[in-house]
Amino acid sequence: MAEVESSQVTQERELDHELVRRVQQGDSKAFDLLVRKYQHRIVGLIGRYLADWSECQDVAQETFLRAYRAIGNFRGDAQFYTWLHRIAVNTAKNHLVSHNRRPPTDDIDIDDAEQFASGMRLRDNDTPERELMRQQLEQTVMRAVEALPEELRVAITLREVDGLSYEEIAKKMDCPIGTVRSRIFRAREAIDQEMRPLMESSNDTSTERASR
């Protein structure tokens, strides 16, 4: 299992480093891809330090700006998200100190920060709205996965949950790699069909609030 996880981590790391390399060469659009990839996790992490949604967004923006300013010094020794996680934690704590609030004494570990089951103390900061949004998102995705045909469901689960490579999935499912690629793609398309309305309605709601 460790080997499987390391394989997935390596693939993710290579893609991130390619994007970072592009940003370091002056391509700011590549940084937008990194933002879109990690902003939900970063907002979720900062939301465990700050209750206010507006503050949360400000700190998330500050986090990405700091990362952008310092990305020239990123050497690729660690994963990009590990580096970004550290910046987010420091920015959130600095924000609390600057507003005369006491930051938590113990930091959120990167593994704990990504699991629903742990870190219950800091999750108390979650507002009902955020919690509802998260639950809706999770239920939508799980429902979409449950509705998939079996071969698509198995393929997407082996890839996203177990972290297997296409070659390993092809061996497990006894089919060509091209078929695995196609099945995972079709599974994502089907899940995306369910996710898109939820996200669009969320965007509309936030736009309405901003216009008021």
Partner 1 sequence: MTPNDYDTDKEHAAASADKVLDHTRLQLSALIDGELPLDEARFLLRRLEHDTELRDCWERWQLCGDVLRGRIGIYAQDALTQRIAQAVESEPVVPRAPVARHRWLRLGSGAALAASVAMIALFLTRQSPEVRAPASTLPAQVASNPVLAPVQPAKVTPDPQVPGQAAEVASALAVADVPRRLATRRSRGQSQRAALRSPARIAVEAPVAVAAAPFGTPAATIDPFSGQHVRLPNRPWPRAVLPTVPANGAFTVDYGSRMGAPAQPLSPFESRHLARPLPAPESGSTDSNAPAP
* Cα–Cα distance measured from residue 86 to residue 79, given in angstroms and rounded to the nearest whole number: 11
Can you list the positions of beta strands (E) in the chain? none
Per-residue tokens: 48: 């465990």
Per-residue tokens: 39: 């902003």
String marking each residue 59-88 x if it binds partner 1 according to CB under 8 A: -xx--xx--xxxxxxxx-------------
Task: Choose between 97 and 177: whose C-beta lies nearer to partner 1.
Answer: 177
Task: Choose between 3 and 100: whose C-beta lies nearer to partner 1.
Answer: 3
Task: Choose between 100 and 212: whose C-beta lies nearer to partner 1.
Answer: 212
Give the residue carrying structure tokens 């901003």.
210
String marking each residue 144-183 x if it binds partner 1 according to CB under 8 A: -x----------xx-xxx---xx--------------xx-
Q: Least separation, in Å, of the C-beta of 36 and partner 1?
A: 4
Instruction: Candidates 82-90, 91-99, 112-120, 146-154: pick the segment binding partner 1 (CB under 8 A).
Output: 112-120
Instruction: Give rounded-to-5 percent helix, strand, coil for the chain.
Output: 75, 0, 25
* Cα–Cα distance measured from residue 63 to residue 92, given in angstroms and rounded to the nearest whole number: 8
User: Is residue 31 a contact partner of residue 71, using CB atoms and an 8 Å limit?
Assistant: yes
Choose, by CB under 8 A, the member of 115, 124, 150, 211 that binds partner 1: 115
Task: Choose between 29 and 100: whose C-beta lies nearer to partner 1.
Answer: 29
Choose, by CB under 8 A, the member of 1, 2, 120, 210 that binds partner 1: 210
Give the residue carrying structure tokens 């924000």.
95
